Amino acid sequence: MQYRTLGRTGIRVSPYALGALMFATSMGNAPEESARIVHKALDAGINFIDTADAYADSEEVVGKALKGRRDDVVLATKFGRPIGEKPHAQGASRRWIVTAVENSLRRLGTDHIDLYQLHRPDPATDFEETLSALTDLIRSGKVRAIGASGTPASDIVEAQWVAERRGLARFHTEQPAYSILNRGIEREVLPVAQRYGMGVLVWGPLGQGLLTGRVRKGGPNDLRRAGRVRHLGDERRLDVVEQLVPLAAEAGLPLTHLAMAFTTAHPGVTSALLGARTMEQLDDLLAGLAVRLDDDLLDRIDEIVPPGTDIGVLDQEYRPPALDDPALRRRPLAA
């Protein structure tokens, strides 16, 4: 395993990280099976696990799985998404952060979190408010490093400037979506993160399932299944998959290995999240750890999906408020 430094934190992490969304019991796994997957990943050299307080009981499952092995892991979790129905139980205010971190520490069964991340931008809260609270958590020893997820490039820059001007801890990492199908972050997010020496942990490297090759046009998993999930039923994305399948076959690779190796080939990417729910899925992805794509193969991928291009959108992608609220993009009529 060739470990990489997580930004400028000095923390060494594996190029594959284990995403824990699928460990929530509501996803169908028994906690004992999830623990076996965690242990298999650790035994293979993966030392980076990412979860979130919004992933149902995932934090509890991860915490129990890590008993006796906590020191072997760089443990990351997230806050900010709504928890329950209470209006204050979300966002990036100091009020919520100090509550959310205690809840996560309790569920994870640990006294510190290695990487604590803002799950999605919170336009209602100033960066100074958020970074001030997170700085206090670092000074208290409850958190080792801080990061964010789904942040537009302009907000990444603003947060870095606020931290510098106010003498606060800065975001050390960013967690965006990235795959062959979604390359939009190559335009600004990845270059900005590199400029500020941030580590980048990418989610969705398999296009939320499309780059496994299990959903094909005209196949048994065609739009009858895909129609229930927007991104799986996008004809544009399916057309790209149909071009990638023979390319992977020609290279002698499973499509999953091609997709994962593509994401970790970018010099701005530190780790890519594995969303394995079964031991078989984990074994398949671990078998591709050593795969490296040569320039010719990367050039051919560029021909199919040009750099900086998003083919459709992901269901969990962050949308700025002005895209959903017409009042934020329309001047009121004169009285």
What is the residue-wise DSSP string for 240-262? HHHHHHHHHHHTT--HHHHHHHH
- In whole angstroms, what is the distance from residue 106 CA to residue 112 CA? 10
Question: Residue 277 corresponds to which amino acid?
Answer: R
The answer for residues whose C-beta is within 8 angstroms of residue 297's C-beta and 6 or more apart is 247, 251, 258
DSSP annotation of 169 reads: P
Encode 134-158: b = buried (16+ Cβ within 10 Å), e = exposed. bbbbbeeebbbbbbbbbbebebbee
- In whole angstroms, what is the distance from residue 46 CA to residue 286 CA? 9
55 is an active site residue: yes
Considering the candidates 3, 16, 55, 196, report the single residue annotated as catalytic.
55
What are the catalytic residues? 55
